[in-house]
Amino acid sequence: MHPLPPPPTCAFASDNAAGAHPLVMDALLKANSGHALAYGSDTWTAETEARFRDLFGPTADTFLVWNGTGANVMALATLVQPADCVVCSEWAHIAVDETGAPERALGAKILTLPSTDGKIRPEQLEHLRHLIGVPHHAQPGVVSITQSTELGCVYTAAEVAAICETAHSMDMRVHLDGARIANATAALGGDLAALRSFTVDAGVDVVSFGGTKAGLAFGEAVVYLNPDLARRAKYVRKQVNQLPSKMRFVAAQFNALLEDDLWITLAQHSNAMGRRLYDATSDIAGVTHLGPPDVNSVFPVLPRDVIAPLQEWCFYWDWDVSRSQVRWMTAWDTTEDDVDRFAAGVRAAVI
């Protein structure tokens, strides 16, 4: 292992280790002027709701919330019926990384399906059809897909549409966990048509629209594309602890993020940095990649003994310790210089 060069200025730990974009922070600051009625009865929130209707169509119904787990739990809590289960990939954030929050709030089973890339397939839903109508089994009521997935992969619009079609034919509702919906939108074309292709056009019912990882200080949105399902949403948001009182401070951030497609621009950059990192390390002997990344994360296998020294030099997370697999993740503020320095460090360490 060669001596390591000076580390990058930012880590490759996660996109939630980044701060907020300056325009977002500026909007937050400007919203701090005088009194405004709490709980969303303010002009900032009205603007945000209008912006989401611009994104998803005139009947989209938007509810601002605090965080990603909260967005997911709120969305699911409005979708499950008594004795339903929620079906998702075995890698789904709701199944693996939320400390059982859905089970606690919903009292419902989370039924996981095997997956290698975080995506599920319509055939896997089909295999659950035999559960329908049998009183001894939780009923498949909701399918939750993550876009982009926890493993950095992106569903095509056609793949999402196929899942929605199968789910709806089984009388299931479809939730999309879009903690990184910006990255997926960027990967699939980077415009409004791209966003719509895998959401409202594909038949998704409800979206958790991620803000935090896209460049906010905090804040997410639950957007009902099927507004009939929003009937209890305003009560459920409060009931699952997700109603911000000074809501203007969430709304103002979103207004800045959604202005001039800033959210897409930032995600395009983040994705590009992910690809740059892949390109800059794929020729290093000892670094094994799965393939080029769809979005802003790579999951390389490294020589076991370099992992810890590199983490101390510039932090990132282990992924699967048993296989010496790690996760490197870029963010909206990762620079080319950060990537190049990081790649240089990896090269020095591995050799």
Count the Cβ atoms, other than its own, within 10 Å of residue 11.
Answer: 21
Select from 23, 25, 272, 344 the one that contacts a second copy (CB under 8 A). Answer: 25
Q: Is residue 183 involved in binding a second copy (CB under 8 A)? A: no
Identify which range of 6-14, 183-191, 196-204, 279-287 contacts a second copy by CB under 8 A.
Answer: 6-14
Of the candidates 331, 338, 284, 239, which has an alpha carbon nearest to the alpha carbon of residue 16? 331
Nearest-angstrom CA–CA distance, 181 and 197 = 12
Of the candidates 195, 245, 253, which has an alpha carbon nearest to the alpha carbon of residue 23? 253
In the complex, minimum distance from the CB of residue 116 to a second copy, in angstroms, rounded to a whole number:
16
Q: Is residue 337 involved in binding a second copy (CB under 8 A)? A: no
Q: Is residue 336 involved in binding a second copy (CB under 8 A)? A: no
- Find where tokens 């059809």 sit: 129
Q: Is residue 88 involved in binding a second copy (CB under 8 A)? A: no
Task: Using DSSP bridges, classify how beta strands 325-329 and 297-298 pair: parallel, antiparallel or unpaired.
Answer: antiparallel
When the beta carbons of 126 and 260 are compared against a second copy, the nearer one is 126
Q: Is residue 96 involved in binding a second copy (CB under 8 A)? A: yes
Nearest-angstrom CA–CA distance, 180 and 210 = 6
Q: Is residue 232 involved in binding a second copy (CB under 8 A)? A: yes
Q: Is residue 58 involved in binding a second copy (CB under 8 A)? A: no
Q: Is residue 229 involved in binding a second copy (CB under 8 A)? A: no
Select from 31, 92, 184, 195 the one that contacts a second copy (CB under 8 A). Answer: 31
Residue 54: Cβ-neighbour burial (10 angstroms; 0-12, 13-18, 19+) = exposed
Q: Is residue 91 involved in binding a second copy (CB under 8 A)? A: no
Select from 37, 46, 158, 193 the one that contacts a second copy (CB under 8 A). Answer: 37
When the beta carbons of 39 and 325 are compared against a second copy, the nearer one is 39
When the beta carbons of 19 and 227 are compared against a second copy, the nearer one is 19
Residue type at 255 in one-letter notation: N
Select from 6, 239, 304, 323 the one that contacts a second copy (CB under 8 A). Answer: 239
In the complex, minimum distance from the CB of residue 338 to a second copy, in angstroms, rounded to a whole number:
10
Q: Is residue 331 involved in binding a second copy (CB under 8 A)? A: yes
Nearest-angstrom CA–CA distance, 4 and 1 = 8
Select from 1, 193, 321, 351 the one that contacts a second copy (CB under 8 A). Answer: 321
Identify which range of 35-43, 196-204, 262-270, 342-350 contacts a second copy by CB under 8 A.
Answer: 35-43
Residue type at 243 in one-letter notation: L
- Kindly write down the DSSP assignment for every residue of 254-298, as one continuous string: HHHHHGGGHHHHHHHHHHHHHHHHHHHHTTSTT-B-SSS-SSSEE
The neighbouring-strand residues paired with 326 are: 318
Q: Is residue 222 involved in binding a second copy (CB under 8 A)? A: no
Q: Is residue 56 involved in binding a second copy (CB under 8 A)? A: no
Contacts of 320 (CB under 8 A, 6+ apart): none
Q: Is residue 130 involved in binding a second copy (CB under 8 A)? A: yes
Q: Is residue 81 involved in binding a second copy (CB under 8 A)? A: yes
**What is the CB-side half-sphere exposure of residue 79 using CA atoms within 13 A?**
34
Number of shown-chain residues binding a second copy (CB under 8 A): 78
Identify which range of 80-88, 152-160, 270-278, 297-305 contacts a second copy by CB under 8 A.
Answer: 80-88
* Alpha-carbon distances of 273 from 212, 292, 305, 332, rounded to whole Å: 18, 12, 26, 9
Q: Is residue 195 involved in binding a second copy (CB under 8 A)? A: no
When the beta carbons of 24 and 162 are compared against a second copy, the nearer one is 24
Nearest-angstrom CA–CA distance, 152 and 330 = 11
Nearest-angstrom CA–CA distance, 124 and 207 = 21
Select from 121, 137, 196, 289 the one that contacts a second copy (CB under 8 A). Answer: 137
Q: Which of residues 279-318 bind a second copy (CB under 8 A)?
A: 315
